[in-house]
Structure 1
């Protein structure tokens, strides 16, 4: 039997001999140089609001409107979000760095400052100062390693310019190499 025939039934990682060579730290290092937008995800299943900062939010489909994000098993908010029917995903701008830091901090009451949040008429906790927020229904969850990937169908959106916010003044908040950054006109590559 040839080597290619013997390896045909194995996974690509095993065929190349790299399956056991990649450490979690090396994997994280690779993604540190890949910038990501910053969001805060909030939910409440009746035991009080929870929230977390995430850089894993991506759009998946426009019709129907779907987004996905991942939840770390280490996050104290994960059990509640996994049980929630709905969540609110807040897309943050540089002006909301305080929200990003607050919801990324472990061991605190992230909702202690009642001036930063309120409730939607449907009951979910939300952050009115976010650049934009999306309220959605969780439609699927998948275990993936030490995380859970959550798919959300967006039901409602609040966009920049609504509620008196000026979309032109808003600069996105980005996370890159373990540091918060802001994008501006000066950061545009021409």
Structure 2
């Protein structure tokens, strides 16, 4: 069965188990689980879209694959459902303004023409962020009220590298708040 339809199947294991976990309880569990912050941009021909996500994760180095999820309620969901390519911006604390821009509803995230441009391949990219990765979408999977997108990394730009073992000004989202990791947060 193709990955994109497996979760929708009536005989899928997720459909056979009763759950007593409410949506609010599920959100509360994950509120205490911090996530790295990224902004995903795309353009499927109708103009650029952007959204902030904490669900980006690397899957494989060979071939270079990553995944992320988008809510069907996102204003960018329709474009991301059609886009063949995306740009995943991996942010640090210096990029908090880009993170907030992608997370703010009801605004034109591309109104400031000096903040972004298009790659020669056409995708919208924000300037000066820690790193970005241009990816080809290779799979979409319906997952509840979201879509999980798997993408093959094609090109990357790294503005601010992180020295192995250093905190690197990481930006995380935890308990509905932005946080900067630093020396003070190191435990080991």
For the aligned pair, the TM-score class normalised by the smaller chain equals: 0.7 to 0.9
Question: Which consecutive unaligned segments of at least 5 residues does structure 1 have?
Answer: 1-10
Do the aligned partners of 1:60 and 1:68 also contact (CA within 8 Å) in 2?
A: yes
Write the distance in 1 (CA, Å) between the matches of 2:168 and 2:100. 18
| Deviation of the 1:160 alpha carbon | 3.0
Do the aligned partners of 2:93 and 2:170 also contact (CA within 8 Å) in 1?
A: yes
| Deviation of the 1:170 alpha carbon | 4.6
SS in 1 for 2:107: coil
**Pair 13,44 (structure 1): closer, same or farther in 2 beyond 3 Å:** closer
Write the distance in 2 (CA, Å) between the matches of 1:12 and 1:126. 37
**Structure 1 or 2: more helix by fraction:** 1
Are 2:139 and 1:140 aligned? yes
SS in 2 for 1:22: coil
Do the aligned partners of 1:87 and 1:136 also contact (CA within 8 Å) in 2?
A: yes
**Pair 12,36 (structure 1): closer, same or farther in 2 beyond 3 Å:** closer
Aligned match of 2:106:
107
Do the aligned partners of 1:72 and 1:147 also contact (CA within 8 Å) in 2?
A: yes
Q: Deviations over 1:71-97 (max 9, x none)?
A: 100001010011000000000110111
Question: Which consecutive unaligned segments of at least 5 residues does structure 2 have?
Answer: 1-12
TM-score by length of 2: 0.87
How many residues matched? 175
Q: Deviations over 1:125-173 (max 9, x none)?
A: 0012110000000000000000000000000011134xxxx75695111
Are 2:65 and 1:66 aligned? yes
Q: 1:183 aligns with which of 152, 159, 181?
A: 181
Within a 5 Å distance, the mapping from 1:1-190 to structure 2 comes to: 19-161=18-160, 167=162, 170-190=168-188
Do the aligned partners of 1:95 and 1:170 also contact (CA within 8 Å) in 2?
A: no
RMSD: 2.1
**Pair 12,95 (structure 1): closer, same or farther in 2 beyond 3 Å:** closer
TM-score by length of 1: 0.86
**Pair 21,125 (structure 1): closer, same or farther in 2 beyond 3 Å:** same
The structure with the larger Rg is: 1
Do the aligned partners of 1:94 and 1:172 also contact (CA within 8 Å) in 2?
A: yes
